[in-house]
Amino acid sequence: MTELSGRCLCGAIAFSGDADIKMMANCHCSDCRAATGAAYGTLVFVDPSEIAITGQPKVFKHVADSGSAMEKHFCPNCGSQMFGRNSNRPNVMSIRAGVLDQKDAVKPAANVYMDSRLPSTPIDPALKAFPKMPG
């Protein structure tokens, strides 16, 4: 288990918990790039029951290319992207690595949606790489 905590830019949304990190990946999909405004999003997947959230994130719902109903949870005040949910995986939530306090806990195992990456994005050849989302 890993102690995780973090907050949005303005502090209105915060979270903490002792979580079992299921997976960690850099996602280069166009949805993550648009949502974060960054070259890619690093996602930390945990069980939502292990994370306590204070404040009320705003939820944007959209449909991914896989057909899954996706949710992006963000601070309505400062706009920080915080969490993601996928209708096909109700027992999993993602936390955007950029809002975590535990910098050393962020160790992505893979790059996913490599097909959609910005050509200029540096890629660690030691990590697994998938053209889309595996499995």
Contacts with Zn ion, residue ranges (CB under 5 A) = 8, 10, 12, 27, 29, 32, 75, 77-78
Tokens 């490599």: give the residue: 114
Separation between Cα atoms, residue 93 and residue 75, nearest integer Å: 16
- Residue among 49 and 52 whose Cβ is closer to Zn ion: 52
Separation between Cα atoms, residue 80 and residue 68, nearest integer Å: 23
CB of 41 to Zn ion, least distance (A): 6
- Residue among 4 and 36 whose Cβ is closer to Zn ion: 36
**String of b and e for 77-112 (b: at least 16 CB within 10 Å)?**
eeebbbbbbbeeeeeebbbbbebbeeeeeeebebbb
CB of 1 to Zn ion, least distance (A): 26
Separation between Cα atoms, residue 17 and residue 20, nearest integer Å: 10
- Residue among 18 and 121 whose Cβ is closer to Zn ion: 121
- Residue among 32 and 93 whose Cβ is closer to Zn ion: 32
CB of 14 to Zn ion, least distance (A): 9
Determine contact, residues 4/89, Cβ cutoff 8 Å: no
CB of 46 to Zn ion, least distance (A): 16
